[in-house]
Chains A and B, each alone.
Chain A
């Protein structure tokens, strides 16, 4: 077959497609739409000369000349199939050529803001022209909806990679006699500080095995210039990874799944680990790949791989001879394009799954972050729900909301029973009337179909008397009214309202008094432990204990009390680590100076995020000490972050989390005095919390939260039925 691959630049994602199509015996020409140049073509192509005006910006939205050029490009090559890769290529093909094509979008292609009108135009053109778009995972489906997609969303097809040369060559590396060498493959453009934090964390792991970890940009494994020189992806990537014995894929990029696919070859499958980003987590599920984790858990997984001397160094494998007929990647690609699907179909796992339909609603969409309380909570809860069986995800953005709720209504109308609808609000009320109206209908339909539902209330700060979130009284009033309407819809439409903890629930009831007198049913739903973040807790060997302070700096965070306390601790038994945002380092130094700690060798300041924090040897104790009224009914997410890291923690007795800490035995509580803090820390340094933390990881996991929620909902349902009986 003759295939035209239209690209948006050239990186491993495209290059691997070229390799596998070549290996299957196809003739592949490659034209880069972004730079308007041929990267590969047959000598006789009638559009072989690309005039300069093809690159002219003005022709983008109007120009028969450019349309004519693209027609010549496509028709002149007499191609059997046209495949576009990336947004620029898809947009160009959609704008300039009427011929049907297979549009592939990669992770990250849709991560652009509205301030990028060119990309927005490309996507608008693509979705207008392409009845279906092939995306890498459901998270990308969400993004496509948010960008206004009118197309059906299908998943990328599997590419056979058996014909590719393995990217890592452990035997050659072993011959050098050095320890393991880890390639930390990262997205190009990843913030340097964050990347360095990963490198240090993973290097520390490698160091334990006599090796090193170095960063390598995923995109650098194949560049545009390699395509211009007609080089193969596997040749170039394996050359650039020469000497590396193992790999860790961190972050996410358009190239990550291609590289992960290639690394999944039998010779290297047990030599790499993957960060559990949303996208790569989806990839791992599809590939049946289990070595995924986030933050420090990633380091632990690498440690396990190195411990097991992962991968036998069985000779430098050449390229396998594979029969083209067996593994032609064009076959599934064509099948995906030709399979009859309705206009707005989405290849969601929830639709093909059996059993009652579960729904996850969140005001704000999922974010691929391992920091931030709200994003982590939303993501972890969504993933926990998926463990019961895939759920349909819905967000408040009208474009996403309308299409997904339409889908849910349709499935329910078709007779599938409703399961669990779990919803989370945000710190601000939903600003879209259509979404609020739609939620009301959705809750009613779900209840009608026999489903159970719950609505998590993050906070009601806008009801606080002295809340200063808006200056304009009229706007403030409008904001409050909108929030109350949202709460009323949720309170009446769902079976249960959820608060971060019991104290929060009581606090919310108090705030609602005088505004909404309805007696809603409340329950607590604190944040929980995500297995992907969980590092095995180790009992600290006798010796120095590290006190970890992670968070903001200021009186709100009880800094003075904490610093006074630690200065009173025995000098040779404790070290003090501070994890703060870069902007707060100066402030912290001021506090430290005030307490005579600025030059103290026991003090270490880092601006790394908590997830990649590599603890020092010995035990580590975390602290969650908040000095405000808010703390009395809040459940700081840091609490579970510490638990995930395996650190016992200290908190004030009157904080809402005190009971959580005490009942699980995962730390200690103290009074709001420096003496009490110091006393508690000293006592904690002598205690082994390992077993309690292990237990709490199970009892306080997101899965157990869901189990408890299900039980509560069943009870509420039974109660309602009893009450309804005459």
Chain B
């Protein structure tokens, strides 16, 4: 094991290695070769490894993603599909053959679905379910004939005491529904979910494997039924009992995503195979949901980009009359804008999950690592909070940096709001965000986000309120940060603009207000003709 030097010395060494590397890359070719030979003779130390990376033009914290993934970082070249085809021929036959196979597959699935009926009854289980639902309805205290009806929310996971992190933003929505005076039932459906009924933070919840949801659906005509994170399991549980209900499906992201969007997360070919199979299954599922006579009156997407992306991923079209965009709500009361002192432009915060590479924790590591090579490093104070498979990269890269605090843990919403007060820049690189709730929360508090113009992100930020870089481009992020460091006025301007943008676009009125109107939680004007139902989605 290499002996460990004191921190300041190691830091100076890293800076020296960086400077040597930069200088060496500028040398003429023959000189470089001599240097390379000399370098090869050096003992194998951490210093040598750092120098090696510097000479190759990579920083010490260079992302290791490519080597970890099943496909390295290269997509399959078209030429590998056959040397006797032109690129156009390859592209055409790949697409058409895939389309043909899918068409056959979906036709088979449709036939199978048509042959399938509702599950047979088990009188004993049915009685237990009815008893639990009776108990739940009493717990919820909902009245059958309440004005405005009752709204049912179906979800795969819901917070409970001791497990507060499950789909917190669904819980926040429901709190808003209740605040607006609505009666709400919440049912958790999962294959392994034990039957229970409980109250969490004022919300009555019933859980089970699906029988409870069916019983609720059979008992009353809800004003609205909405599902979050619906997959094949939930759909199969409820689809035969949606008749007469007004159903909404909230599309958050993963429910209808194609495997290729997260290629970087797969580490083995088996995982890729499974992901492809999953995608094709989902393509079949959403076709079925779309065509179902009592399928969603609206598919609700968190962003317009996600609506378009989901269409492309599932190879179908969500008609305009049946789709709506409602962003996730940002709690602007909690994440309140307080004007920032200019000095906070050097205070960088990263709080996210590093369980996969979607949120670009590796890019954040690279940005910070390369900032270390700049003159601003000593002015910078960074705090990293999170967890997950890739979080270790932060720990190893910055264990010696006193100005970088790395904490492997989750932070509550309240704590994050307090942290926002202390920091001015939110480092939030990304490869895939259907909205980017943590970024919006930080912006609401006045932090200037540093992020990539990928996926839905441009729908929520622009360069008046964010430091923007193309995908994977750490250089551009660093350049943007430096402009911020050098221009305190710019920082203050962007900080205020960030808060204003979120309040306008993703604050409660623009999001929950719209959602409440959509679901009919608040009164709305109706121009019903005679013989019209009391509550049904708009179809104009």
Cα(A124)–Cα(B246), bound, Å = 19
Cβ contact of A341, chosen from B97, B103, B291, B529, cutoff 8 A: B529
Check A407–B531 contact: CB distance below 8 A: yes
Cα(A410)–Cα(B535), bound, Å = 12
Check B103–A62 contact: CB distance below 8 A: yes
Residues of the B chain whose Cβ atoms lie less than 8 Å from the Cβ of A337:
540
Check A414–B531 contact: CB distance below 8 A: yes
Q: Mark B99-123, 1 if CB is under 8 A from A, else 0.
A: 1101100100000000000000000
Residues of the A chain whose Cβ atoms lie less than 8 Å from the Cβ of B500:
none
Residues of the A chain whose Cβ atoms lie less than 8 Å from the Cβ of B100:
58
Cα(A100)–Cα(B244), bound, Å = 24
Nearest CB of chain B from residue A345's CB, rounded to whole Å? 6
Q: A343-B539, A344-B533 are in contact. Are A129 and B321 (CB under 8 A)?
A: yes
Cα(A75)–Cα(B526), bound, Å = 31
Check A130–B530 contact: CB distance below 8 A: no
Cα(A406)–Cα(B460), bound, Å = 44
A339 within 8 A of partner (CB):
yes
A411 within 8 A of partner (CB):
yes
Nearest CB of chain A from residue B530's CB, rounded to whole Å? 5
B419 within 8 A of partner (CB):
no
B277 within 8 A of partner (CB):
no
Q: List 26 A-B contacts (CB under 8 A).
A: A53-B96, A61-B287, A62-B98, A62-B103, A62-B283, A62-B315, A62-B316, A63-B95, A63-B315, A67-B315, A98-B318, A99-B320, A128-B319, A129-B319, A129-B321, A131-B538, A150-B294, A151-B539, A337-B540, A341-B532, A343-B536, A347-B529, A351-B531, A352-B529, A410-B533, A411-B531
Q: A58-B103, A131-B539 are in contact. Are A343 and B311 (CB under 8 A)?
A: no
Residues of the B chain whose Cβ atoms lie less than 8 Å from the Cβ of A96:
317
Residues of the A chain whose Cβ atoms lie less than 8 Å from the Cβ of B312:
64, 67
Nearest CB of chain B from residue A605's CB, rounded to whole Å? 48
Cβ contact of B538, chosen from A124, A129, A340, A406, cutoff 8 A: A340
Check A128–B291 contact: CB distance below 8 A: yes
Residues of the B chain whose Cβ atoms lie less than 8 Å from the Cβ of A97:
317
Q: Mark A276-310, 1 if CB is under 8 A from B, else 0.
A: 00000000000000000000000000000000000
A594 within 8 A of partner (CB):
no
Q: Within residues 514 to 540 of chain B, which ones have a CB less than 8 A from any CB in chain A?
A: 526-533, 536-540
A-B interface, 3 closest residue pairs, ranked by CB to CB distance from nearest: A131-B539, A129-B319, A340-B527
B92 within 8 A of partner (CB):
yes
Check B536–A342 contact: CB distance below 8 A: yes
Check B322–A351 contact: CB distance below 8 A: no
Check A410–B317 contact: CB distance below 8 A: no
B293 within 8 A of partner (CB):
yes
B290 within 8 A of partner (CB):
yes
Q: Within residues 397 to 414 of chain A, which ones have a CB less than 8 A from any CB in chain B?
A: 406-407, 410-411, 414
Check B106–A61 contact: CB distance below 8 A: yes
Q: Within residues 110 to 142 of chain B, which ones have a CB less than 8 A from any CB in chain A?
A: none
Chain B: interface residue total (CB-CB under 8 A): 44
Q: Within residues 127 to 147 of chain A, which ones have a CB less than 8 A from any CB in chain B?
A: 128-132
Check A152–B317 contact: CB distance below 8 A: no
Cα(A56)–Cα(B100), bound, Å = 10
Cβ contact of B533, chosen from A64, A340, A343, cutoff 8 A: A343
Task: Name A residues whose Cβ lies closer than 8 Å to a Cβ of B.
Answer: 53, 56, 58-65, 67, 94-100, 124-125, 128-132, 148, 150-152, 337-345, 347, 351-352, 406-407, 410-411, 414, 416
Cα(A62)–Cα(B99), bound, Å = 6
Residues of the B chain whose Cβ atoms lie less than 8 Å from the Cβ of A60:
103
Check A411–B530 contact: CB distance below 8 A: yes
Which chain A residue shows the least CB distance to B290? A128
Cβ contact of A100, chosen from B283, B295, B320, cutoff 8 A: B320
Check A131–B99 contact: CB distance below 8 A: no
**A-B Cβ contacts below 8 A, count:** 125
Nearest CB of chain A from residue B308's CB, rounded to whole Å? 8
Q: Which of B103, B283, B297 has the most CB of A within 10 A?
A: B103
Nearest CB of chain A from residue B288's CB, rounded to whole Å? 11
Cα(A488)–Cα(B529), bound, Å = 36
Check B92–A53 contact: CB distance below 8 A: yes
Nearest CB of chain A from residue B319's CB, rounded to whole Å? 4
Cα(A131)–Cα(B312), bound, Å = 22
Check A67–B317 contact: CB distance below 8 A: yes
Which chain B residue shows the least CB distance to A357? B531
Check A129–B537 contact: CB distance below 8 A: no
Q: Which of A60, A65, A343, A406 has the most CB of B within 10 A?
A: A343
Nearest CB of chain A from residue B111's CB, rounded to whole Å? 11
Nearest CB of chain B from residue A96's CB, rounded to whole Å? 6
Residues of the A chain whose Cβ atoms lie less than 8 Å from the Cβ of B533:
342-344, 410
B434 within 8 A of partner (CB):
no
Q: A67-B317, A98-B311, A98-B323 are in contact. Are A342 and B99 (CB under 8 A)?
A: no
Which chain B residue shows the least CB distance to A341? B529
Cα(A151)–Cα(B102), bound, Å = 27
Which chain A residue shows the least CB distance to B314? A62
Q: A64-B312, A98-B320, A128-B290 are in contact. Are A345 and B532 (CB under 8 A)?
A: yes
Q: A58-B100, A340-B538 are in contact. Are A414 and B530 (CB under 8 A)?
A: yes
Check A65–B95 contact: CB distance below 8 A: yes
Residues of the B chain whose Cβ atoms lie less than 8 Å from the Cβ of A416:
530
Nearest CB of chain A from residue B451's CB, rounded to whole Å? 27
Residues of the B chain whose Cβ atoms lie less than 8 Å from the Cβ of A67:
311-312, 315, 317
Q: A340-B527, A410-B532 are in contact. Are A94 and B319 (CB under 8 A)?
A: yes
Cβ contact of B96, chosen from A58, A338, A351, A352, cutoff 8 A: A58
Residues of the B chain whose Cβ atoms lie less than 8 Å from the Cβ of A410:
531-533
Give me 11 other A-B pairs in contact (C-beta within 8 A), A129-B319, A345-B532, A414-B530 excluded.
A62-B103, A67-B311, A94-B319, A96-B317, A98-B317, A124-B291, A150-B294, A152-B539, A341-B529, A343-B246, A410-B532
Residues of the A chain whose Cβ atoms lie less than 8 Å from the Cβ of B311:
64, 67, 98
Residues of the B chain whose Cβ atoms lie less than 8 Å from the Cβ of A341:
527-529, 532, 539-540
Which chain B residue shows the least CB distance to A350? B531
Check A344–B536 contact: CB distance below 8 A: yes
Cα(A63)–Cα(B91), bound, Å = 13
Nearest CB of chain A from residue B257's CB, rounded to whole Å? 15
